[in-house]
Structure 1
Amino acid sequence: MKIVLLLSSLLPVCLSHGYDPFSWLFRRHWQEQHYGSLQADTTGGPCPEECDCPPSYPVAMYCDGRGLTAIPFIPSRIKFLYLQNNAITSVPESAFANATDLVWLLMHYNQLTSEGIDEKVFLRLKGLERLYLHHNNLTSIPSNLPRTLRDLRIDHNAIEKISAADLEGMDNLTILYLHNNAVRDLGSSLTSLKSLALLDISGNKLTKVPDVLPASLHQLYLEYNSIDSLPEGFLGGFSHLQYIRMSHNQLSDKGIPSNTFNVSGLVELDLSYNKLERIPSVSSTLQHLYLQANQIKEFTLGSFCSIVDVVNFSKLQTLRLDGNEISLQDIPVETAVCLRQAFSIQI
């Protein structure tokens, strides 16, 4: 009885300070119930010792950054496989024989070569949606890639040529990263990509815009190439394109047909670090225009506004003209009326 009375007299004091002296009992009971039920899932085979297969997420296998030189055994239950940041050099035909339900396969930052990837290895993967192969030593796109892919990242390799067969039938592909390779001409290799929304082919050796680009594009990145001109009606076939980045090329006024960029729908246009001497005409709906580090010699207000009144004015918010051959004194007084929504103008 004395013990009971003593405990009951202490409880109000402890609880008044926001601390329950018996909370550890409930916490231990909850942990035993919760974690005791989480046992390693060995369906389709045990997890290899060099990887982690969390009981709370049994369909994922984490083998990233383990110093691996070869692909380990993969249990058949695995759908999300993380193999990035290793030293893997090859992918034999049997690599995924036991794991045909893979949805994500991340193998970026390895030492893969095109010769080391068996041409039949991807034929078994009927539901693969995300494939990351960037930062390897590939010289070509692997053969027989799954037509279910939605996100393919194969940038930072040494790919020189892409054929139509490499990407044929990829109706679901929405993201394609090809930047920082050695591609000189894409030809018509992108023709079949009917759902492509983002295409990044910057940092290659292109001298012209690809002949055929998917009409579904939302974002097109062509920076750091050697493109000196644009075809007539360059943007005529796009109804969803919002972002174009063509900085660090060789574009001149002569190489850009009139009104090329005067199309509605564009949100951002980056033509910085080229050889332009005039501001190209742009749509009044454009919001961000980057023209820094060109050779622009005059500020042409007509490039932004053909008519200025209460309802007709440019929606431009950002304009960069620094690093050109104009100064603040070259800006007409009427600019404030035309560019009334601009919050950042750099000269």
Structure 2
Amino acid sequence: MQTVVLLFMMGILDLSISQRYSQFQWLSHLRGRRQYATWQAEELDCPLECDCPSAYPTAMYCHSRNLQHIPVVPSHIKYVYLQRNHITSIQDGVFDNATNLVWVVLFHNQLSSDKIGKNVFSKLKNLDRLFLDHNELTRVPPNLPNSITDLRLGHNRISKILSKSFEGMANLTTLHLQANVIEEVGGVFKGLKSLTMLDMRKNKLRKIPDNLPERLQQLYLEFNNIESVPADFLTMHPKLQFVRLAHNKLTDKGLPSNVFNISTLVELDLSFNKLEKIPVVSRNLENLYLQANKIKEFSLGSFCSTVDMTNFSKLKMLRLDANEISAKDIPAEAAYCLRRVAFIDV
């Protein structure tokens, strides 16, 4: 009799569990995600395709799951990781239930511009980082929130940037557009008052972008088709510290005298171009890369107009290898002018 009573009580217990939790939630438990007795509401509404660990209650991990669509994002989620899937589209309303999202990570998918709704991101007023690199986008998604500080659109198929693509995005500090097919950008960056880093490597630019923001500190333009540098390039952008123009089509004719003689510049990369002379640089420059050009002479005046105890270059790294000069072309006086250089690579 006691055995019958015990079995009956166990049956009631199982029935109560099945009534208390939905089939969806019970299946999640069977899959092993709910391993503890204390289930939380945040865990229960997590999509089956994803993981929402209790240790990170505002994060939803859906990466590398062979997903073809974006699952429903619970309202409490702030960080959603959807990278390395097969997602091709984002429909309007998919994030409407989670308007407090701070990070949306979607790199390495198959997103195309025609399949992204016009207002997909517009309601995400707290969105800070949006990663859309390594997709198949042909243009910048419209109506991006003004709250974004880090936008990554590299390794797509963007060929043209519309004039209003970044309108109102005064908080944007980092913009990645590398490895696209952009030929010209016009003045699209003019209103980005907080932008400090712009990466446009591996595009098809024929000139340095116009109207770059005044606060810009890092500018990466390697692997383009740039032939010249404007005479007022650095005076117009006094906070630039790192400028990389390697693998372009620069010649001596395309570099006005003293264009790089600006005190704020810390690193300048002009390697893999067609220069025949060392350009004049500021005494405050620390790293200069000129390898793989056609430089035929070592001009000490490019680094020091005068040499004494107080006037000398702060250069630490100088690369001149793969040019048409050798160590014997470096004058003895270079030891006084370039006294901080660890070594000169020729």
Per the TM superposition, whether the score is higher than 0.5 is yes
**Structure 2 counterpart SS, 1:164:** coil
> Does the residue aligned with 2:169 lie in a helix, a strand or coil?
coil
Distance apart, 1:239 and its partner CA: 2.6
Confirm or deny: 8 A CA contact 2:42 2:57 kept in the other structure: no
Number of positions where the alignment pairs a residue of Structure 1 with one of Structure 2 = 313
Find the counterpart in structure 2 of residue 215 from structure 1.
214
2:312 — aligned with what? Answer: 313
Instruction: Provide the rounded CA distance (Å) in 2 between the counterparts of 1:41 and 1:74.
Output: 16
Q: State the alpha-carbon separation in 1 of the partners of residues 81 and 284 from structure 2.
A: 43
Q: Offset at 1:201?
A: 0.6
TM-fit CA distance, 1:262: 0.3
CA RMSD after TM alignment: 1.5
| Structure 1 residues 47-95: Cα deviation after superposition (integer angstroms, max 9, x where no partner) | 0111110111110000011110100011000000000010000000121
SS in 2 for 1:289: strand
Question: In 2, Cα distance between the equivalents of 1:44 and 1:171?
Answer: 36
Instruction: Report if aligned partners of 2:291, 2:323 keep a CA contact under 8 Å in 1.
Output: yes
**Equivalence for 2:161:** 162
In the alignment, which residue of structure 2 is the partner of 1:233? Answer: 232
Q: Distance in 2 between matches of 1:60 and 1:36?
A: 18
Q: Is the 8 A contact 1:164 1:191 kept in 2?
A: no
| 1:108 correspondence with 2:107 | yes
- Note the residue ranges of structure 1 that are not aligned, 5 or more in a row: 1-34
TM-score (normalised: structure 2) = 0.88
Corresponding residue number in structure 1 for 2:91: 92
Residue number in structure 2 paired with 1:4 = none
Give CA-to-partner distance per residue, 1:156-208, whole Å, 9 cap, x none: 00000112300011110000000000100010000110000100011000001
Range with greater deviation from structure 2 (208-217 or 292-301): 208-217
The aligned counterpart of 1:131 is 130
TM-score with structure 1 length normalisation?
Answer: 0.88
SS in 2 for 1:115: helix
Paired residue for 1:13? none
Report the residue type matching 2:60 in the other structure: M
User: Which residue matches 2:271?
Assistant: 272
Deviations, residues 199-244 of structure 1 (Å, cap 9, x unaligned) = 0011000001111111101100000000001112111122321100
**What aligned pairs does 1:1-347 form with structure 2 within 5 A after superposition?**
39-43=38-42, 46-347=45-346
The percentage of counterpart residues that share the same residue type is 55
Q: Aligned equivalents of 1:318 and 1:41: distance in 2?
A: 56
Distance 1:41 1:176 in 2: 38
**Structure 2 segments unaligned to the other structure (5+ residues):** 1-33
Cα deviation 1:102-143 (Å, max 9, x = unaligned):
000000000000011001111211110100000000000001
Q: Structure 2 CA distance, aligned partners of 1:41 and 1:286? A: 57
Runs of 4+ residues deviating >3 angstroms? 35-41
Alpha carbons of 1:76 and 1:44: their partners in 2 closer, same or farther (altered >3 Å)? farther
- In the aligned structure 2, how far is the partner of 1:239 from the partner of 1:291? 22
Q: Output one character per residue of 1:248-271: Cα deviation in whole Å (capped at 9) or x when no partner.
A: 000000001100000001110000
In structure 2, what residue type is equivalent to 1:76? S
* Deviation at residue 40 of structure 1 after TM alignment: 4.4
Note closer, same or farther for the CA distance 1:292–1:215 as it changes in structure 2 (3 Å cut): same
Q: What letter corresponds to residue 95 of structure 1 in structure 2? A: V
Quickly say closer, same or farther: Cα 1:40–1:143, change in 2 above 3 A. Answer: farther
Paired amino acid for 2:64? G
- Provide the secondary structure at the position in 1 that maps to 2:57: coil
Answer with 161-170 or 108-117: which moved more: 161-170
One-letter identity of the residue aligned with 1:62: Y
CA contact (8 A) 2:212 2:237 kept: no
Distance change >3 Å, CA 92–CA 44, structure 1 → 2: farther
Shift of 1:41: 3.5
Residues 15-63 of structure 1 show CA distances to partners (whole Å, capped at 9, x for unaligned) of xxxxxxxxxxxxxxxxxxxx99994442497001111101111100000
